Amino acid sequence: MSRRQMSLAPEQTDSRLMTEAEAREAAQKLKAREDFFKLMSHEIRTPLNGVLGMLSLLNRTSLTAEQQSYLQTARESGEHLLTLVNDLLDYARIEAGHIHLESHLIELEPLLQSVAELLSPRAYAGGIEIAWSLDPRLEAIEIDEGRLRQILFNLAGNALKFTKSGGVLIGVTLTEGGAIRFGVRDTGAGIPEEARVRIFEAFGQVDPSHAGAQYGGAGLGLVVVKKLIEAMNAELDLQSEPGRGSLFTATFPVPCTLRTAPEPRATPDVICLTANPVLAEAAQSHLQSCGIRVRQGTQLKGIGRRSRAVVLADRRLLPEPVPAPNNRSLILLAPEEREEISAWRDKGWAGYLIKPLRRSSLRERIEALSLKPLPNDERVVATEDDRIVPVVAPGVQVLLVEDNPVNALLAQILLQREGCRVERAASGEEALKLIEAGKPYDIVFMDLGLPGLDGIGTTRAMRANGVKLPIIALTANAYEEDRRACLTAGMDDFLTKPIELPALRHRLNQWCGRANAA
């Protein structure tokens, strides 16, 4: 692991020589500001977690159309507030202090998959697609994962905000010079040439009206991106054409590892039926990685019942569940369309895939269906997508360490909805007593800001006592140094508030299997 640090503090760019006392005083002021921003982050995000979480739970109850409309407006307002808070705090900290960078080898596929899936609710709520593509030669790169994730979230989130049709594609390629280029391309309105510099300036907007209710935000997300990319010795570029969308790219001169090229073999015939170019390009990229070529189309007509082609049909093309064109057909659904799965199967569809498409799931389904006999007398048994399974952790015993009663109630409900059995401790000392009593927990969710013994100290005490359970930080402290501090103390993972349900399900999927196998 390599570490480097860049100072962006205005105080430290002063050309005059400081005395030792002045330097000490400047360092103290810097630390005070850092502590203040961390406190503000925690204090603002904690109640927001309760507000957004409870609105999400309310959305699952029986509501009238009028109530649904009010609820949606409240959720959108809360999400805009969260975005604004994040951008303001990130900008203030970068301007006042240091950017700490830690490089380690990270796999690109799970990174891109998680970014796209966490942003997918926002995309599908707006009627557009979000997808990712990865150069089939690339496997992993050495970089600061937290900072890279923040760059991709800011760029893709900004693109979603200004895209009304089509979608957003997050792509990674290997350049001729051996650098790694991340691109976020959208099919939005584009950016006029005179505004392309202004949007990277503090509080800059393409149009002043964008700061109003239509879009939300203060124009700081791209400023944060620019400063992070500069600190990482990378290059930022913007290409845009009004009416045809924009492409933001960040090129990093970092080491990488490459995949072994797939062995030549007979490949199945695949037809992807969609009117959305983002979805089509993502499917092509995923299958190209295993040597499968894809034909494009926009209608089911012409595909015979005896066709050997594997059909991928976008749900957005079809008004309702219709008979499958052949017995090798998969319907591509958004997560919120999961209630339709049985209706499509009743119409003869062999199965489904959930968008954003996952490379491994797509390849596995296609390979299984390509071997299916043409007479429709056998069904291919396919595993369920883990974004659709009703609960992801049935029977898992959870110790929830959380002192805030509202956030504790929210986390408990979310965990119970995933099949968990939850016991709560309101302090680190109480958590240690429950562990010492020998209760058979499978996983611990640990708040950081506990009274008395905090989450870091509680974790260290558990590890010192030989506790090997997975411990997941559950906190409103959303900064990268907080994540590193948690991992250094012995925690296994990091989950920020407000709690995103896909992120919670992912942690349960990832860690409960290990806990149960131990």
Of 364, 370, 372, 430, which is closest to residue 403 (Cα–Cα)?
430
Confidence of residue 5 (pLDDT cuts 50, 70, 90): very low
Burial of 405 (0-12, 13-18, 19+ CB in 10 A): exposed
Residue entry with tokens 């019942």: 305
CA dist list (Å): 66 to 58, 80, 125, 202: 14, 22, 18, 39
Confidence of residue 106 (pLDDT cuts 50, 70, 90): very high
| Average pLDDT of the chain to the nearest whole number | 83
Which pLDDT belongs to residue 125?
Answer: 85
Residue entry with tokens 């700081």: 220
- Whether 254 and 237 have beta carbons less than 8 Å apart is answered as no
Of 353, 347, 360, 514, which is closest to residue 443 (Cα–Cα)?
514
As separate numbers, helices (DSSP H) first and strands (DSSP E) second, the chain gives 13, 19
Confidence of residue 7 (pLDDT cuts 50, 70, 90): very low
Residues 396-446: pLDDT tens digits?
A: 999 999 998 888 888 898 899 889 999 999 999 999 999 999 889 999 999
What domains can be seen in the chain, in order of their start residue?
Answer: 20-96 (1.10.287.130), 104-207+217-258 (3.30.565.10), 270-371 (3.40.50.2300), 397-513 (3.40.50.2300)
pLDDT at 93 over 50: yes
Confidence of residue 386 (pLDDT cuts 50, 70, 90): low
Residues 231-282: pLDDT tens digits?
A: 899 999 999 988 889 999 999 999 999 988 766 566 788 999 999 999 999 9
CA distance 308 to 287: 17
pLDDT at 62 over 80: yes
pLDDT at 517 over 80: no
Which pLDDT belongs to residue 4?
Answer: 47
- Could you give the percent of the chain with pLDDT greater than 90? 42
Which pLDDT belongs to residue 266?
Answer: 63
* DSSP secondary structure letter of residue 432: H
Query: On the CB side of 503, how many CA atoms lie within 13 Å of its CA?
Result: 17
pLDDT at 84 over 80: no
pLDDT at 206 over 70: no
φ, ψ dihedrals at 246, nearest 5°: -135, 155
- Whether 480 and 496 have beta carbons less than 8 Å apart is answered as no
Mean pLDDT of 25-51: 75
Which pLDDT belongs to residue 390?
Answer: 67
Greater confidence (45 vs 258) lies with: 258
Which pLDDT belongs to residue 372?
Answer: 67
Which pLDDT belongs to residue 130?
Answer: 97
Greater confidence (160 vs 261) lies with: 160
- Whether 160 and 126 have beta carbons less than 8 Å apart is answered as yes
Which pLDDT belongs to residue 400?
Answer: 96
Of 38-47, 327-336, 384-393, 485-494, which gets the smallest average pLDDT? 384-393
CA dist list (Å): 222 to 26, 204, 229: 28, 9, 10
Greater confidence (228 vs 374) lies with: 228
Of 487, 488, 492, 489, which is closest to residue 507 (Cα–Cα)?
492
Helices (DSSP H) in 15-101: which residue ranges? 20-58, 65-96
Residues 300-311: pLDDT tens digits?
A: 888 877 788 899
